[in-house]
Amino acid sequence: MASFSSSSSSHLIIMNMVFLVLFSGTSSAQLSPDFYSKSCPNLFYAVKSTVHSAIYKEARMGASLLRLFFHDCFVNGCDGSLLLDDTSSFTGEKGAAPNLNSVRGFDVVDSIKSAVEKVCPGVVSCADILAVAARDSVVILGGTSWNVKLGRRDARTASQGAANSSIPPPTSNLNALISRFNALGLSTKDMVALSGSHTIGQARCTSFRARIYNETNLDASLAQTRRSNCPRTAGSGDNNLSPLDLQTPTAFDNNYYKNLVNRRGLLHSDQQLFNGGSTDSIVRTYSNSQSNFVSDFTAAMIRMGDIGPLTGSSGEIRKNCRMTN
């Protein structure tokens, strides 16, 4: 009887240890809004004050910071890999076709990281800084806030090839957009809601030249206006900018969807969301209700932030967002 009791207790101890290991592994992989509540209580103030200053200097920067988060999460998950400069061992994402001469705001991320390091050195990842800066940018430009889940760690490598294949180009059709978002665990409704981030920001002539000269599902007056700043000939005015939302390019609202209903989407991929296809009804709902859009957008942003994070002992907490430790 004694030997049975002994072996049972030993078995129980082993099972408890296995449970603890499994449980701790699971909990370490969970992101949480209060991840830094004790280790960096001044995180949110440090980020928001720096983002606010950057947007005050240039309103467009809010859209740029939001876009950095998108382009990071779409390539191997939300791991800060986009921020890495090229090294002798890998060619990073900054030079990929969707990013080259297009993504911007890296200097602002450096400033945010510097501000955060002053209040809690070596604690907060660059991946999490991108997530918080994206939320703050939306809020500062008039959008609604949400609880950003935190606890991501930073990648030690990056891939230009992955960036080229993972980020949907502005020439994408509806099926390609749905497929790409679905592959990342995001629904079609998530895709339409997240596309609403184009209610702020600017696009380069190279991104919409083919649309304004060749496509017919485009309001004629908008096409004429945009042609004045985007010559037909490739290589001429390639980097000239036009607002994605002509009405309120620095206000986070639902005008983007109203534009789509009126065939005033600047990018081919934008107008695909309202072009006689399966997403027309979602666009119409958002065009009629800013509250519906905002609610679905914030939920989709939280889901996007859950894509492939590095947690626990994976990755690292970079001292400098541009390079590994």
SS3 (DSSP) at 323: strand
Over the stretch 58-81, which tens digit does the pLDDT of each residue have? 999 999 999 999 999 999 999 999
d(CA 222, CA 249) in angstroms, rounded, equals 15
- Among the listed ranges 15-19, 23-27, 53-57, 126-130, which one has the minimum average pLDDT value? 23-27
In this structure, are residues 152 and 125 in contact, taking their beta carbons and an 8 Å threshold? yes
- Among the listed ranges 28-32, 181-185, 209-213, which one has the minimum average pLDDT value? 28-32
Q: Looking at residues 178-190, what average pLDDT do you find?
A: 97
In this structure, are residues 201 and 63 in contact, taking their beta carbons and an 8 Å threshold? yes
The sign of the torsion formed by the CA atoms of 129, 134, 138, 141 equals positive
pLDDT tops 70 at residue 234: yes
d(CA 126, CA 113) in angstroms, rounded, equals 7
Residue 146: left (phi > 0), alpha (psi -120 to 50), or beta? beta
Residue 234 structure tokens: 């490739």
Residue 185: left (phi > 0), alpha (psi -120 to 50), or beta? left
pLDDT tops 80 at residue 42: yes
Residues designated as active site: 71
- Please enumerate, by residue number, every residue annotated as part of a binding site for heme b: 198
pLDDT of residue 29: 55
pLDDT of residue 10: 45
- Which residue do the tokens 């001429």 mark? 236
- Which residue do the tokens 């009804």 mark? 281
- Please enumerate, by residue number, every residue annotated as part of a binding site for Ca(2+): 72, 75, 77, 79, 81, 93, 199, 245, 248, 253
pLDDT of residue 30: 86
d(CA 317, CA 325) in angstroms, rounded, equals 8
SS3 (DSSP) at 180: helix
Nearest to 143 by CA among 8, 295, 40: 295
Residue 45 structure tokens: 């103030």
- Please enumerate, by residue number, every residue annotated as part of a binding site: 72, 75, 77, 79, 81, 93, 168, 198-199, 245, 248, 253
The pairing of strands 202-204 and 241-243 is: antiparallel
pTM for the full predicted model = 0.89
Phi and psi dihedrals of 316, rounded to 5? -155, 175
d(CA 294, CA 235) in angstroms, rounded, equals 38
Over the stretch 311-323, which tens digit does the pLDDT of each residue have? 999 999 999 999 9
pLDDT above 90 as % of the chain: 89
